[in-house]
């Protein structure tokens, strides 16, 4: 029998209890008794929205920033995506440590920090990949040590499970049951990490199975104080997150961070890791920041600015397609369209390249349908059109299937 999500959470704002109360009021006003439950809910929600709309809307402040950039907000779904082996989990560990960090801890945590140091979130780490004898225990130790605890400590606001021993078909049911269980044991807001999120469902390429988890997360963030961070692999040799689940996750997410190794002039991986923001729903899209793995600390540290600029400047002279896409996103990602002459002039200056080289790269991007992201995190392609003998470039959204 197919398992359905059972949401047993505390309510806030437009919560289930509010909607039920409004529905009861409506029932008293309507003589017909054959109104469906769905219509009752819709009408009650409308009444609650009417009430909220009449007041000043105060947007939530971020709960986690990186340097001075607002990254994670309350009641949101967030994503870290990247190819295998780019340290996605280690990046997530630093964010978890920022939530757990003790007052007397001076660890930098890649610049991640809580905006309210007196606020207490319960971190819930759900793992699906690492073995239970060494890899997962070491990762959990690492989070605690980064946050200023000893490895033998058991912080009351740090919870963790593995779904590795649960069959893939039963994982969504087990996850849903566990989240309801953990909510009953704490009144703290929850920060839930799904690592990796596609392993929490039976088939990430099936619409119905993907939407089970998407719906669970959407219901959770709308009915109680929960934040999700989903880790997801990208398709090989692509910037696209895996499967139908990855497409829907990108649509629903508030902040999407992409992790990947910077390339040198020969397009080989360097030791510099770029964290690129593909989507920032609540702010303008942030510029990337750069990290690297350090053997000395057995973890990630911020990369030195001179190292980063050396790699990028050496590569820019090649005017590769990947590099040019970065600048096209910057110039056209907000919906702007540019004349051909204006775009080429900007790119020539950026790459110190000849006009012919830039034109060849633009032609390649157009012909290959190279995926480009706009500021909403939507997958786009470069489009060229002529109007009144003037050629314009812009981004058009690729419709998901």
Domains and CATH numbers, the chain: 16-53 (no CATH), 64-312 (3.40.50.300), 318-397 (1.10.10.10)
Question: How far apart are the C-alpha atoms of 148 and 105, rounded to whole Å?
Answer: 5
**Distance (Å, whole) CA 128 – CA 162:** 6
Q: Which residues contact 141 (CB under 8 A, 6 or more apart)?
A: 151
| Residue 172, H or E segment | helix 171-184
- Reported confidence tier of residue 17, pLDDT bands at 50, 70, 90: low
Residue 24: pLDDT band with limits 50, 70, 90: low
What average pLDDT score do residues 87-104 get?
A: 97
For residue 361, what pLDDT is reported?
Answer: 92
* pLDDT computed for residue 377 by the predictor: 83
Q: Are 191 and 121 in contact (CB under 8 A)?
A: yes
Mean pLDDT score across all residues of the chain: 89
Q: Residue 298 has what DSSP assignment?
A: T
Contacts of 151 (CB under 8 A, 6+ apart): 141, 144, 145
For residue 293, pLDDT over 90 is answered with: yes
Confidence band for 401, pLDDT divided at 50, 70 and 90? very low
- 377 neighbors 279 (Cβ within 8 angstroms): yes
Reported as a pLDDT band with limits 50, 70 and 90, residue 3 is very low
What average pLDDT does range 102-124 have in this prediction? 95
pLDDT tens digit string along 73-88?
Answer: 999 999 999 999 999 9
- 111 CB neighbour count, 10 Å cutoff: 16
From 90-94, 248-252, 266-270, the region with the lowest mean pLDDT: 266-270
**Side-chain-side CA neighbours of residue 336 (13 Å):** 14
- Decide if pLDDT at 12 tops 60: no
In this predicted structure, the answer to whether residue 5 has a pLDDT above a threshold of 60 is no
Nearest CA to 81 out of 280, 223, 259 is that of 259
Q: What is the DSSP letter of 111?
A: G
CB-CB neighbours of 314 under 10 Å? 13
Whether the pLDDT of residue 204 is over 80: the answer is yes
- Do residues 323 and 288 make contact, with C-beta atoms less than 8 angstroms apart? no
pLDDT in tens, 365-391: 999 989 898 988 888 999 999 999 999
């Amino acid at each position: 029998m197919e398992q359905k999500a059972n949401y047993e959470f505390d309510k806030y704002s437009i919560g289930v209890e509010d909607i039920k109360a409004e529905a009861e009021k409506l029932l008293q006003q309507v003589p017909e008794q054959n109104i469906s439950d769905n219509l009752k809910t819709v009408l009650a929600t409308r009444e609650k929205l009417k009430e909220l709309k009449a007041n000043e809307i105060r947007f939530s402040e971020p709960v986690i920033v990186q340097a001075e950039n607002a990254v994670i907000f309350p009641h949101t779904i967030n994503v870290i995506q990247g190819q295998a082996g780019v340290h996605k989990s280690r990046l997530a560990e630093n964010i978890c440590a920022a939530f757990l960090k003790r007052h007397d801890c001076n660890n930098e945590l890649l610049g991640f920090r809580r905006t309210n140091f007196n606020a207490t979130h319960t971190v819930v780490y759900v793992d699906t990949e690492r073995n239970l004898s060494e890899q997962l225990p070491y990762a959990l130790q690492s989070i605690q040590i980064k946050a200023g605890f000893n490895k033998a400590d058991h912080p009351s606001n740090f919870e963790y499970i593995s779904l590795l021993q649960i069959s893939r078909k039963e994982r969504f049911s087990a996850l849903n049951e566990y989240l309801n269980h953990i909510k009953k044991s704490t009144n703290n807001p929850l920060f839930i990490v799904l690592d990796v999120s596609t392993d929490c469902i039976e088939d990430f390429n099936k619409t119905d199975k993907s939407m089970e988890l998407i719906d669970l997360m959407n219901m959770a963030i709308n009915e109680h104080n929960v934040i999700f961070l989903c880790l997801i692999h990208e398709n090989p040799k692509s910037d696209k997150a895996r499967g139908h689940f990855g497409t829907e996750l990108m649509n629903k997410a508030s902040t999407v961070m992409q992790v990947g190794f910077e390339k040198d002039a020969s397009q080989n991986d360097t030791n510099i890791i770029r964290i690129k923001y593909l989507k920032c729903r609540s702010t303008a899209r942030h510029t990337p920041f750069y990290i690297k793995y350090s053997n000395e600390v057995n973890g990630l540290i911020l990369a030195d600015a001179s190292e980063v600029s050396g790699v990028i400047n050496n590569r820019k002279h090649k005017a590769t397609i990947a590099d040019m896409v970065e600048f096209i996103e910057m110039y056209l990602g907000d919906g702007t369209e540019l004349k051909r002459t204006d775009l080429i002039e900007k790119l020539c200056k950026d790459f110190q390249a000849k006009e012919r080289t830039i034109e060849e790269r633009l032609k390649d991007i157009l012909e290959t349908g190279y995926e480009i992201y706009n500021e909403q995190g939507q997958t786009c392609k470069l489009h060229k059109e002529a109007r009144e003998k003037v050629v314009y470039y812009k981004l058009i959204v690729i419709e998901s299937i």
